[in-house]
A = this chain, B = another copy of it.
Amino acid sequence: MQDLYPTRRKEEKIVDRVDDVVYSKSSKKYSLKEDEVMFFEENGYIIFPEFFTEKEVGTLNWALEELKSDSSMKDREEYITEPDSNELRTIFSQHRFSSVFEQLISDRRILDKVEQILGSKAYIHQSRINIKPAYKGKSFPWHSDFETWHAEDGLPRCRTVSAWIMLTDNTQFNGPLYLVPGSHKKFVACAGETPKDNYKESLKNQKYGVPSLEAMKVLSKDNGITAALGKAGTLVFHDGNMMHGSPDNISPDPRTNAFFVYNSIENKPVKPFAAKGQRASFLCLKDFKAL
């Protein structure tokens, strides 16, 4: 299969995105309105403030607490700690361990918009809850998820969308997600050959697939950087190729978000495009059944 997004070569390159951003142009049968589709297409993200009720958020947080207090989870490879402490940083595949999150991935309020963006049925490529503890939560460097999914998981096209829910308020101060509006239209082919089992390090401290300072200057030149802020219950969609990162959390408030990566069923993974082996199966789920 042709590699439309060559990456992890000797030199960094910024190239144009080959794929569409929104695959279904008609908004008639879907819930995203025309201006919302236009905003997403242009900027690569869209925020729905307090989309879920306080009660719903309460249930999601309760489900997370259940996962955290389940001692058998701590030994699983889906359970990732901070680089310099034993504090929980990420739980992967929450929808496989919790019925609450399992139901959530098929919630029509989300799935309808996902199908509209992807122009097809979808399945979950990856899910995770990112926890940034107060005081201790470390930063995530800039990256496009799709760059890794293409290089290390073999997703051929950029036809994925991340839907995520704020489980706590995301403020200016507690390490929120920073996005580069419009960056989804460019693909940063990153420099450096992927090391073996890269993911074991990269989940704690990503080094490959991170653009240079110069590339970030180019990407952010026109539209700058924005922060995805909102109260708990806020729903955000961002394109799989969105350049994003987040600073550390020195504030006294934790920041927790639940991510669900939807991939088009027409974009199933093939052999990784720029890595020798496969990543751990929880990073690239293989249940391709349409939701």
Main secondary structure of the interface of A (DSSP, over half): loop
Report the minimal beta-carbon distance from A146 to chain B, rounded to whole angstroms.
20
How far apart are the CA atoms of A245 and B135 in the complex, in Å? 11
Report the minimal beta-carbon distance from A181 to chain B, rounded to whole angstroms.
13
Residues of B within 8 A of A173 (CB): 178, 225, 227, 247
Within 8 A of B (CB), among A203-260: 213, 216-217, 220, 225, 227, 245-252
Cβ of A198 < 8 Å from any Cβ of B?
no
How far apart are the CA atoms of A142 and B246 in the complex, in Å? 19
Residues of B within 8 A of A220 (CB): 252
Q: Return the CB mask of A174-187 against B: 1 if under 8 Å, else 0.
A: 01001000000000
Chain B residue at smallest Cβ distance from A225: B173
How far apart are the CA atoms of A141 and B251 in the complex, in Å? 9
| Stoichiometry, copies per complex | 2
Chain B residue at smallest Cβ distance from A134: B213
Within 8 A of B (CB), among A165-201: 172-173, 175, 178
Residues of B within 8 A of A178 (CB): 173, 250-251
Cβ of A267 < 8 Å from any Cβ of B?
no
How far apart are the CA atoms of A246 and B251 in the complex, in Å? 9
| Seed contacts A213-B252, A225-B251; 19 additional CB < 8 Å A-B pairs | A134-B213, A135-B216, A139-B247, A139-B248, A139-B250, A172-B172, A172-B227, A173-B178, A173-B225, A173-B247, A175-B247, A178-B250, A178-B251, A217-B252, A220-B252, A246-B250, A247-B247, A247-B248, A247-B249
